[in-house]
Amino acid sequence: MHVKLNKPVYEDMNLLKFPKEFGSEDGCWDWLFRTRWPEGFYCPRCGHSEYTLLEERRLCLCGACRYQASVTAGNIFHKTKTPLLKWFWLIYRMATSKTGVSIAEMQQQLKIKDYKTIWAMAHKIRKGMADRDSHYRLAGLVEVDESFFGPSSSGKPGRGAERKSVVIVAVSTWLNSSGKEEPGFAHAFVAQDSSADTIEAILNRLTVPVNEVKPLITALRSDGWRSYQKVTKKLGVVHYRAILSDPKDSMRLLPWTHRLIANAKAVISGPHRGVAHKHLQRYLSEVCYRFNRRFWPEESFHRLLNACATTSTVTHKELMAPNGAADQSQ
């Protein structure tokens, strides 16, 4: 196996292969080493290529400047005290489980003493997911809808509901060779509200490529909520307005956003049993991440492992801050 940092090779993985490749701490460390230094070690401080491995702490001691380089520096595993083997198992489960992973169950399986430790690990992995998806833009006909997440006893349902979190979901679509519509890439964001300004800002962020000004969206499909009418006018795109006379119509007329919303609600009310508003964005990112890679289930572990090895982490302190280190940059 050889995985390059910039041109990753996503290999298939399954329960039979996993212990062969990542059956020990050494196997996990070797993978991170090869990912960080695909052409062989070079010192991050002076560029020297010879090193001695300090076995106990698994640090590479530079032969020239004596800098101690770590395979986990600056990535999701930064300064972790938890064995990589446990991390890799958690990543495997989070990448491959369609319905979400029970963190309490994984705590038991992986023999992690403190629930807070694995809880933070899972959030760090979710950050890896969000960071990777933040590069993807939506194009063509984009289906958009909003939903409300939160306690069911919070008063009136729908728009205007108090104490619930507003979530804007957007899914790009494409036509397959038979002319049948398929869902493309999806994003879901916790938003301040469902006003036209908020939706416009989200759509601009999601549909305009970096360093460009022209959005890739050509048409918007939504319900008749006035915000969408304003947004489509401002963006100058066609508005396909779904008339929802019965709540059941939404599954038929706005199929992709509703599939994603149903999926997110099942994951959040199932294995996670409800989540705090300040952490909701990361759970949504997790659901979108898996949805966006549904065509590559076998590669999903390597894809997520690569995402975690190539992005920065979030600390426990940041997660516990009042805004929960909410990362809105998906």
The H-or-E segment that residue 329 falls in is: none
The residue among 96, 95, 94 whose CA lies nearest residue 105 is: 94
Closest distance to Zn ion from the beta carbon of 40 (Å): 14
In terms of CB distance, is 60 or 304 closer to Zn ion?
A: 60
Residue with tokens 């409300």: 148
In terms of CB distance, is 26 or 50 closer to Zn ion?
A: 50
In terms of CB distance, is 66 or 159 closer to Zn ion?
A: 66
Residues that bind Zn ion (CB under 5 A): 43, 45-46, 48, 62, 64-65, 67
In terms of CB distance, is 65 or 73 closer to Zn ion?
A: 65
Closest distance to Zn ion from the beta carbon of 43 (Å): 3
- Sequence-distant (6+) residues with CB within 8 A of 57 are 68
Residue with tokens 């090779």: 9
Q: What sign does the dihedral 217-197-327-110 (CA atoms) show?
A: negative
In terms of CB distance, is 48 or 265 closer to Zn ion?
A: 48
The H-or-E segment that residue 1 falls in is: none
Closest distance to Zn ion from the beta carbon of 71 (Å): 15
- Sequence-distant (6+) residues with CB within 8 A of 274 are 151, 268
Closest distance to Zn ion from the beta carbon of 62 (Å): 3
d(CA 141, CA 299): 28
Do 128 and 330 meet the contact criterion of CB atoms below 8 Å apart?
A: no
d(CA 237, CA 194): 19
Closest distance to Zn ion from the beta carbon of 25 (Å): 25
In terms of CB distance, is 61 or 191 closer to Zn ion?
A: 61
Closest distance to Zn ion from the beta carbon of 304 (Å): 31
